[in-house]
Amino acid sequence: MRLLVTGGAGFIGSCFVRRRLAATDDTIVVVDKLTYAGNRANLAACENDPALASRLEFVRGDICDGGLVRDLIAESDAVVNFAAESHVDRSIIDAEAFLRTGVIGVHVLLETIRSLADRRSIRFVQVSTDEVYGEVTDGLSGEDDPLRPRSPYASAKAAGELLVSAYHVTHGTDGVISRGSNTYGPYQHPEKVIPLFVTNALEDLPLPLYGDGRQQRDWLYVDDHADAVGHLLDHGRSGETYNVAGTGHLTNRDVAAAILERLDKPWSLVRSVPDRPGHDARYAMDGSKLAALGWQPTVSFESGLADTIDWFRANADWWRDAKSGEWADYYEDQYGWRLAESVEA
């Protein structure tokens, strides 16, 4: 297959590209805007390997750019859309880019596929998130549950999904939606909680735990997430949505404790800071629909976290680079006043 992978220089997209090139004969074109979160170095392992590099092309560009997107999709058998603004806290500070990429960008991709439909069918995989369900106080979210997004990020993701479903129903577009759980692993931007806590602990900086830290997430290792998206690309039923559940339901306190234990750092680094507004207390999904389609996650939280911590320890240049440039301003906005008001956790 010839794949167009949008957002393929980000955390999960680059993992998908690395694993897909190694496991198949597919050719991949990555289109990525290289926002603060995108990093060409995430693809270096492929670009520096001649056997893989011959099947990979990188294009810097925006999925909202209809002309560019049309040229790229015209040459593709399928589009896998990872491109998004992905950090909830940034969507609370300023949501505009989330809507531009998450709604208009998805529309540009779908409209382009529709306009090419008389030539051939092009599959579209929309990489979405458990956050579209909103907070789940108990039980597990099933694919038919109502969407109740509660952050601007989650609302933009829900809108993107709804467009994919609408194009499937109205125009017959071949679309599949994945709803992935909280993902962690190598190459994740240090704005997200696990790499933030790991890299701050490595530098003996405070770990800012929102509120009481009793919120829960179901953690999914990035290789598993990337493989699930590949499975849906190959086997997902058109018009369907699939949860991609993780392997570890943990509170944020437990996550912080596990990180500190492996790094042999004291709990006193953890500071309870004023909470994220609208903070979803819990996400948890039922992954049985995807299991029935033949895929389940394989990496336990213990082994995934160990590999992730080891990777960050060994790749300080990578995360120091991510914590440069606009990072200082972002960190000050997000955490300056919170840390000033922080208390013992």
Residues that are catalytic:
130-131, 153
SS3 138: coil
DSSP string, 93-124: H--HHHHIIIIIIHHHHHHHHHHTTTT---EE
Token readout for 258 is: 């596990």
By DSSP bridging, strand 241-244 and strand 175-180 are parallel
Q: Is 112 in the site for ligand TDX (CB under 6 A)?
A: no
Site map (CB under 6 A) of ligand TDX, residues 121-160, x = contact: --------x-x-----------------------------
Q: Which does 28 bind (CB under 5 to 8 A by kind): ligand NAD, ligand TDX, none?
A: none
**Minimum distance from CB of 277 to ligand NAD (Å)?**
20
- The footprint of ligand NAD on residues 170-209 (CB under 6 A) is 180, 182-183, 189
Closest CB 160 distance from ligand TDX, rounded Å: 12
CA angle 191, 11, 259 (to 5 degrees): 55
Selected from 4, 28, 29, 38, the binder of ligand NAD by CB under 6 A is 38
- The dihedral built from the CA positions of residue 47, 233, 24 and 68, taken in this order, carries a sign that is negative
* Residue 200 within binding range of ligand TDX, rule CB under 6 A: no
Each residue of 285-307: b (16+ CB within 10 Å) or e?
bebebbeebebebebebeebbeb
**Longest distance between any two alpha carbons in the chain, whole Å:** 62
Q: How far is CA 280 from the centre of its chain?
A: 17
- Asked whether position 318 contacts ligand NAD by CB under 6 A, the answer is no
Dihedral over Cα of 149, 108, 7, 18: its sign: positive
Distance separating alpha carbons of residues 220 and 119, to the nearest angstrom: 38
Is 88 near ligand TDX (CB under 6 A)?
Answer: yes
Closest CA to 322 of 194, 199, 184, 197: 199
Tell me the one-letter amino acid at 303: S
Name the segment binding ligand NAD (CB under 6 A); options: 80-88, 195-203, 267-275, 324-332.
80-88
**SS3 (DSSP) at 59:** strand
Q: Which stretch binds ligand NAD (CB under 6 A): 7-15, 141-149, 252-260, 268-276?
A: 7-15
- Decide if residue 229 touches ligand NAD (CB under 6 A): no
- Contact flag: residue 248 with ligand NAD (CB under 6 A): no
Site string for ligand TDX, 6-45 (x = CB under 6 A): ----------------------------------------
Give the DSSP H or E segment for 87: none
Piece of 25-33, 57-65, 83-91, 94-102 that binds ligand TDX (CB under 6 A): 83-91
How far apart (Å, rounded) are the C-alpha atoms in residues 92 and 343?
Answer: 23
| Nearest approach, Cβ of residue 209 and ligand NAD (Å) | 18
User: Residue numbers of the site for ligand TDX (CB under 6 A)?
Assistant: 86-89, 129, 131, 182, 192-193, 196, 208-210, 215, 217, 252, 276
User: Residue numbers of the site for ligand NAD (CB under 6 A)?
Assistant: 6-7, 9-13, 31-35, 37-38, 62-64, 82-86, 101, 105, 127, 129, 157, 180, 182-183, 189
